[in-house]
Amino acid sequence: MKYSDWKSLNETERKAAGWHRHPHIKTFTLFTIAFAVVLIIVIFGISKNTTVHLNRKPTPQEAFNIAKVFVKEKLKQPTTAVFPDHSFKPAIDTAQNSYQLQSTVKAINASGKMENSDWVISMHYTGGDWSEKTSWQVESVNMSPKN
């Protein structure tokens, strides 16, 4: 029923019409459902709590975290890699977005033995989300076994 039709009804006809035929109730119901859907989407979006790492330069710890990804790619068995949590030496030039990090890794080598290695990586941050590999340009990765 249209609102213009509703206005033409007399009081008895309006009372006899079911609530679902009332144009204001239809509109109110639609807006309530739309509001509830939007509210649910917002609540799920907030509870998802995804972190976006944009609009700032990476910290040394963040650079170390992404450097570990690149170093793992150079290992024969990357799943066996064990890195120290906070033991690394950064040399960072934030003006040039240049990051050089030194640390160690323990992993199984080609002969099947666990081996400690020192590594040095030089990277350039190109912008965007620091946790994405595409935001970095690796200039060099040097690994040398410890004796």
What is the residue extent of each domain of the chain? Answer: 3-48, 60-145
- Write down the pLDDT at residue 12: 84
Residue 121 CB burial class (10 angstroms; 0-12, 13-18, ≥19): buried
- Write down the pLDDT at residue 53: 53
Q: Considering the chain, what is the average pLDDT of its residues? A: 84
> How would residue 26 be classed by pLDDT, with cut points 50, 70 and 90?
confident
> How would residue 89 be classed by pLDDT, with cut points 50, 70 and 90?
very high
- Write down the pLDDT at residue 77: 87
Helix runs in 49-141, H state only: 60-74
Q: What is the mean pLDDT of residues 35-39?
A: 93
User: Residue 54: how many CA atoms within 13 Å on its side-chain side?
Assistant: 3
Q: What is the mean pLDDT of residues 4-27?
A: 72
Whether residue 100 has pLDDT greater than 90? yes
pTM comes to 0.61
Q: What is the mean pLDDT of residues 10-15?
A: 80
- Write down the pLDDT at residue 102: 95
Helix runs in 21-74, H state only: 23-48, 60-74
- Write down the pLDDT at residue 99: 95
Whether residue 30 has pLDDT greater than 90? no
- Write down the pLDDT at residue 127: 87
